[in-house]
Structure 1
Amino acid sequence: MPDERKRVVDAFSRKLDAAYHRAAISSYDELARRLEAIEAADAGTAARLRTHLSRSSAWAILKGRRERIPSWDKVSLLVRVFQAAATERGIPVETIGTLAEWKVRHEEAMTGYRLAPVPAPVPAPAPARAGASGDLPGGPQTWWHPFADIVPRWFEGYLNHEFLSDLITSYEPSYVPGLLQTRRYAAEIIALTHGHEPRERLDRRVELRMRRQRHLERGNGRPHMWAIINEGALRHGPVRPATMRGQIRHLLRLGPHVSVQILPASHPAHDAADGPITILRFGSLKLSDLVFLEDADSALYPTAEADRAYYQKAVNKLGLAALRPEPSKALLRGIENEL
């Protein structure tokens, strides 16, 4: 079952994200401008210690891309921004909540986090057999070795198996799946968490993601990919509008071996998953399905049969709630025109 601590973090993030949307803030660029304005005002107030919250950090907090509950100073800064935006737009500030109310929520979340059991680490699956990857030189456990310095240990097991899969099922609540990203979209997403690194290293991270996409370009009928994407990831994703338009056009041009379904942002089926879920299925009966739960700086590989069934059921629930492929394309065109 999912990590209970992560459940607490995700639940608190969803509350903050809901307040962000109730404040009718149009984009993360607007959020960043408002954060900077309040931070600048705080810098001139001796009674208040200045708190800095970058655009990327705010995005990570709101989307639950963290391992811990954010500190109260960052939460209070976000709430003040939401309150100011709501007031300017004539939205009742009660819909956002007072700082006192958010302080209670934050303390409850911190208590829940401290009391939640710490999960035992789940090791990545063993590397697949060499030579089983068909046209991959050197086998699946070596193709990515030129990028070994930027591949975290927790990601190695997934990379060793992705190129062997016949079916890739993916649910993404916050952004477009990596296998379907354009180079420009990938560069902006990677910069959110690795923007402090040298340009050459950032470029190599992007190149690794593009190399992974060769698996979808083999043209021999395998693999098939079923991608379920949250509508909010397309409307409120942390990339530039022009980048998102190009990304949406790419999704519309994908071949028949990739099925894309959009899950409406307001649909309650989002509760079926706490974060991204990827399930790999293989043609060989010797390889069991691989469930991959990626977080900002770690991942879980549930191996118990009950856990695999749990996540497969969660993805199926999301797929049934999402728009079918053709209506999804219509929604994608509509979002592209609105950006």
Structure 2
Amino acid sequence: MPAKPREHAGSTFWLRRLGAELRKLREQSGMTADQAGAEMEWNRQKIWRIEKGTQEVLRTWDVQNMCKVYGAADSLTEALIGLCEKAKTGDWWQSFSEVIPRWFNVYLSLEEAATSIDWYTAELVPGLLQTDNYARVVFNTAGGAEDSNELTRRAKVRVQRQAALTRLAPDPPALHVVLNEAVIRRPVGGASVMAEQLRALLQFGALPNVTMRIFPFSAGQHGGMNGGEWVLLRFPQESSEPETVFHEALNGAAYLTKEQDVMQYKTVQDDLVKRSLDEETTKELIARAVKEFEET
């Protein structure tokens, strides 16, 4: 019986969860993707899309037939049909689909489902914590937004993601952030935008589920200097979703789930935390930076 995912997960998460269970069933049955496709009168590519959670339209009837082909017990079939029904509810960000890259849909679903998020960034405030004005500057600088309306909607997605940090049920994720000192020093968007953004960081840092530390210039070199930015996501113990490192680039992203890859990032993250300023000193440094930008 698949473990019950948390109720706030979006449809992308449910499709990935369902796909993982169906793949497990197929492998247990000894069938290849070609054989399964032949039984369902599909090609193997469709089987692979379903198992990866990228088949956007999946009927409960199809899930029931796949379970029958794989010899699944009635109770398991019923549970997987339930996951399929959950996937039909849709993600909140689907209404922004015209401004969200397809590769980022997966990240949004993982962020929604995560119980713990470790974030390191060297240049910019984490997307999850950006203000509307700061996000607009970032998107405008990176390019890709065709007009002001697209810029507005892309920034709105970033701000709307923040609701997860203060939700009442289920528990919000534990967010642990390490910022390179450059993040609070570089005047992105000018002094007023930075002052507003840093005040927002102080507010986020006051949340009981958020920790924030600055890695100071004085700490010197560190193991993440070639990494730029990454996010380490952890999920409920009962979930089959593996710990995942998200690494975003200009026009795509990498999702690392191999144990040795994830462990390397964990080791670097732990070292960054140990060598960073404590939370109280971090807040004091950010507050001083706010004052400096306000006086500029």
TM-score by length of 1: 0.57
Aligned length: 212
Q: Which has the higher contact order (CA 8 A, sep 6+)?
A: 2
Distance in 2, matches of 1:210 and 1:196, equals: 17
Q: How much does 1:183 deviate?
A: 1.3
Cα offsets for 1:279-336 (capped at 9, x unmatched): 1111133221111011122211112110010111111111111111111001111111
Give the counterpart of 2:232 among 256, 265, 279: 279
SS, match of residue 234 in structure 1: helix
Match of 2:213 in 1: 261
Match of 2:189 in 1: 239
Distance in 2, matches of 1:162 and 1:196, equals: 23
Q: 1:130 to 1:188 in 2, by over 3 A?
A: farther
Match of 1:202 in 2: 151
Unaligned residue ranges in structure 1 (runs of 5+)? 1-122
Match of 1:297 in 2: 251
Q: 1:262 to 1:238 in 2, by over 3 A?
A: same
Distance in 2, matches of 1:137 and 1:298, equals: 26
Q: How much does 1:136 deviate?
A: 10
Amino acid at match of 2:119: S
Q: 1:233 to 1:136 in 2, by over 3 A?
A: farther
Q: 1:131 to 1:206 in 2, by over 3 A?
A: farther
Give the counterpart of 1:193 among 142, 145, 148: 142
Match of 2:127 in 1: 178
Match of 2:32 in 1: none
Alpha carbons 1:269, 1:317 under 8 Å: kept: no
Q: How much does 1:161 deviate?
A: 1.1
Task: List, as ranges, runs of 4+ consecutive aligned residues in structure 1 with deviation greater than 6 Å.
Answer: 128-132
Sequence identity of aligned pairs in percent? 32
SS, match of residue 197 in structure 1: coil
Alpha carbons 1:172, 1:228 under 8 Å: kept: yes
Cα offsets for 1:118-148 (capped at 9, x unmatched): xxxxx9x94499988xx99925xx3322122
Cα offsets for 1:33-57 (capped at 9, x unmatched): xxxxxxxxxxxxxxxxxxxxxxxxx
Cα RMSD, aligned residues only:
2.6
Distance in 2, matches of 1:199 and 1:271, equals: 38
SS, match of residue 271 in structure 2: helix
Q: How much does 1:171 deviate?
A: 0.3
Amino acid at match of 2:125: V
Unaligned residue ranges in structure 2 (runs of 5+)? 1-48, 55-79
Cα offsets for 1:263-288 (capped at 9, x unmatched): 11242344434210101111133221
